[in-house]
Structure 1
Amino acid sequence: MISLIKVVVFLSLVQMCLGGRRLAALVQQPPLVLTYHKGALLHGALPVNIVWYGHFTAAQRSIVADFLTSLNQQTKEKSPAVSSWWELTEAYLARAGRPSTVSVLLGKQVTDEECSMGKSLKRTQIRDLAAKSAAPNGITLVLTSKDVAVEGFCMSSCGLHDSAPLAKGLKEKFAYIWVGNSETQCPGQCAWPFHQPLYGPQTPPLVAPNGDVGVDGMIINIASLLAGTVTNPFGNGYFQGPATAPMEAASSCPGMYGKNSYPGYAGDLLLDSASGASYNANGINGRRYLLPALWNPKTSSCSTLV
């Protein structure tokens, strides 16, 4: 789960002065280590099926679909590439002695524009939506539109990943992710740095690379949760802390997107000279994205593309 508590604490730290940051640097902090708990990890060809719940435009759907396709290492993007960011997840598999290839494949897409379960969903209903498109050794991605409220959305999370049995009575499970479009509900919490933060100094937001604050914010959360799902799909993979609120591959590096980042500052990013948009990864079809730092098991530190 992407914890809003972590985000709030993180952004509040921006009030620290430069002297405070220098002082903190003098204290040698032990390296963060995500422990492997000997459970299953996802690997090989990994289909991601999408459930579009509520209204999404064709342009919004293409932003997400292009991102997922860009994760495949067979794609040829400019450097820094989305696929290079994704390669870091393979280091987790190698460290665990598992097959170290994870090829994301864009699976089937289901549209529920009429919101068959209503526009106020419980988390159990997210699981039920995901189950309709479940696949073994795959991930179901449930995306809810900006006018759909989900239990806990904005109050405790921007999205989540979980698992459930493939069918009643079966031990085999499938993994699923939910992410909501926060454009009108809580962009200051779930679409930062493309919107002014709810807490901390109100610095100007960055320009979203695909011109859509809500969906570009969703990409950050989708990326975070995908990394967490592959490396900790069933709650016994890589994480630190309690299993009920784990620090995972991306959530261990909150608010970090480029070098020299610090609380409230996303880091030194690439800038599109024409649009003024900030990004750190190139995808297919000329797409650009902002992707979160991932904890690197080789260095026990957070790694960014730029």
Structure 2
Amino acid sequence: MLRSCHLLFICFSFLATITKAQIDQFKGSKNYEGPSNLVDLQYHMGPILTSPIDLYIIWYGNWNPNHQSTIRDFIYSLSSSSSVSPSVFDWWQTIRLYTDQTGSNITKSISLSQEFIDSRYSHGKFLTRLSIQSVIKNSIQTLHKPLPLNYRTGLYLVLTSSDVQVQDFCREVCGFHYFTFPSIVGGTLPYAWVGNSGTQCPGFCAYPFAWPKYSGMPTGNKNIMGAPNGDPGTEGMISVIAHELAEVSTDPFISGWYAGNDPSFPNEIADLCVGVYGTGAGGGFVGQVYKDKKGNAYNLNGVKGRRFLVQWVWDPVKKSCFGPNAIH
């Protein structure tokens, strides 16, 4: 949406490992969270992404190959049913419950079709919301291995490195999605942007892997939970990427699924669940999640043995936030 913000739920409670005692404790409770009696999520009759998605990543800035690999593996996990449950694939099945006016569901297929490396900072180290569209234009019109202008199944994902500042980044948003203007890019294409907050605002956009600024926590203990793949900034990006992919799929042109009467400020299916990662979330607690042997927090499994911590999304059937790691 216009300002599809990933405004992280800033809280100071520790994540918890799921134990048998905790499972017994939650057996009597519902396995999804959210103010279902207050949410009026509606379909506004516009297109949603029901066709297989060709995802094009634009790596803007200076990137660590290991961090790129982690993000790619998350993308691959979205369409891979081979991962151990609860998996990223299972998480995407909630998004697939959304349909258009013909009854067609959100696609089950997201393919990483092509990547473009913009390591020369073609538009500088400070980007406005509008100049991000020029970054997409550059990736399509460049002479060396350009991305295709794919009107039918293309989805463009601009990822900025930790040394790139973006308008409203760290103050209002960690990522957003919208659509390109034909006057700039040459067509109307759905896209999303997500920034790496590792050095700029990890406590805001990489929470719960870093303490919020001014939280009063000891300077020697800045990480709340270990990042399952080793880098808080990258882990924060992955949760925001998941957030934006869920919303751009169900509301690519701000005429699909959202709550509220103002399309300029819609509440989309991930906005409704900010800060919810597991059963029992709410009141400053992100919910029950798993820990690996090193104490790193996660709630989803992915390809190659990867683990990720990704927020829940609004389930249109249960009419509440839900994730596959919910305690039944």
Q: Same fold (TM over 0.5)?
A: yes
Amino acid at match of 1:128: S
Structure 2 residue aligned with 1:108, among 114, 123, 126? 114
Q: Which residue of 1 aligns with 2:32?
A: none
- Specify whether residues 199 and 34 from structure 1 end up closer, same or farther in structure 2 by C-alpha distance, changes over 3 A only: farther
Q: Which residue of 2 aligns with 1:20?
A: none
* 8 Å contact kept, 2:277–2:286: yes
- Specify whether residues 13 and 238 from structure 1 end up closer, same or farther in structure 2 by C-alpha distance, changes over 3 A only: farther
Residues 142-198 of structure 1 deviation map (CA, whole Å, 9 limit, x = unaligned): 00000000111111111110002457697x621000000001111111111111124
Q: Which residue of 1 aligns with 2:321?
A: 302
* Distance in structure 2 (CA, Å) of the matches to 1:168 and 1:144: 20
* 8 Å contact kept, 2:45–2:101: no
Q: Which residue of 1 aligns with 2:286?
A: 266
* Distance in structure 2 (CA, Å) of the matches to 1:207 and 1:91: 32
The answer to whether residue 192 in structure 2 is matched with residue 177 in structure 1 is yes
- Specify whether residues 167 and 3 from structure 1 end up closer, same or farther in structure 2 by C-alpha distance, changes over 3 A only: closer
* Distance in structure 2 (CA, Å) of the matches to 1:68 and 1:223: 9
Residues 236-292 of structure 1 deviation map (CA, whole Å, 9 limit, x = unaligned): 00001221121111111110001111233211101101x211101111111111111
Q: Which residue of 1 aligns with 2:160?
A: 144
Q: Which residue of 1 aligns with 2:82?
A: 76
- Specify whether residues 80 and 12 from structure 1 end up closer, same or farther in structure 2 by C-alpha distance, changes over 3 A only: closer
* 8 Å contact kept, 1:121–1:149: yes
* 8 Å contact kept, 1:51–1:130: yes
Q: Which residue of 2 aligns with 1:44?
A: 51
Secondary structure at the counterpart of residue 126 of structure 1? helix
Q: How far has the Cα of 1:117 moved from its partner?
A: 1.1
- Specify whether residues 95 and 196 from structure 1 end up closer, same or farther in structure 2 by C-alpha distance, changes over 3 A only: farther
Counting matched residue pairs gives 287
Amino acid at match of 2:170: C
Secondary structure at the counterpart of residue 91 of structure 1? coil
Q: Which residue of 2 aligns with 1:19?
A: none
* 8 Å contact kept, 1:283–1:289: yes
* 8 Å contact kept, 2:277–2:289: yes
Q: Which residue of 1 aligns with 2:245?
A: 226
TM-score, normalisation: structure 1: 0.87
Q: Which residue of 1 aligns with 2:67?
A: 60
* 8 Å contact kept, 2:46–2:100: no
* Distance in structure 2 (CA, Å) of the matches to 1:209 and 1:156: 26
Residues 113-142 of structure 1 deviation map (CA, whole Å, 9 limit, x = unaligned): 121211111111111212334422221000
- Specify whether residues 237 and 201 from structure 1 end up closer, same or farther in structure 2 by C-alpha distance, changes over 3 A only: farther
Q: Which residue of 1 aligns with 2:271?
A: 251
Alignment of 1:181-196 (within 5 A): 181-196=196-211
Secondary structure at the counterpart of residue 295 of structure 2? coil
Q: Which residue of 1 aligns with 2:92?
A: 86
* 8 Å contact kept, 1:33–1:300: no
Amino acid at match of 1:161: H
* Distance in structure 2 (CA, Å) of the matches to 1:29 and 1:214: 32
Q: Which residue of 1 aligns with 2:224?
A: 205
Q: Which runs of 5+ in 2 are unaligned?
A: 14-34, 141-146
Secondary structure at the counterpart of residue 173 of structure 1? coil
- Specify whether residues 206 and 110 from structure 1 end up closer, same or farther in structure 2 by C-alpha distance, changes over 3 A only: same
The answer to whether residue 163 in structure 2 is matched with residue 161 in structure 1 is no
Greater alpha carbon shift after TM alignment, 89-98 vs 76-85: 89-98
Q: How far has the Cα of 1:31 moved from its partner?
A: 4.3
TM-score, normalisation: structure 2: 0.81
Greater alpha carbon shift after TM alignment, 256-265 vs 59-68: 256-265
The answer to whether residue 10 in structure 2 is matched with residue 11 in structure 1 is yes
Q: Which residue of 1 aligns with 2:21?
A: none
Q: How far has the Cα of 1:213 moved from its partner?
A: 0.4
- Specify whether residues 69 and 76 from structure 1 end up closer, same or farther in structure 2 by C-alpha distance, changes over 3 A only: same
Give me the identity figure in percent: 36
* 8 Å contact kept, 1:51–1:140: yes
Greater alpha carbon shift after TM alignment, 235-244 vs 262-271: 262-271
* 8 Å contact kept, 1:11–1:263: no
Question: Which structure is higher in RCO with an 8 Å CA cutoff and minimum separation 6?
Answer: 2
Q: Which residue of 2 aligns with 1:17?
A: none
Q: Which runs of 5+ in 1 are unaligned?
A: 15-27
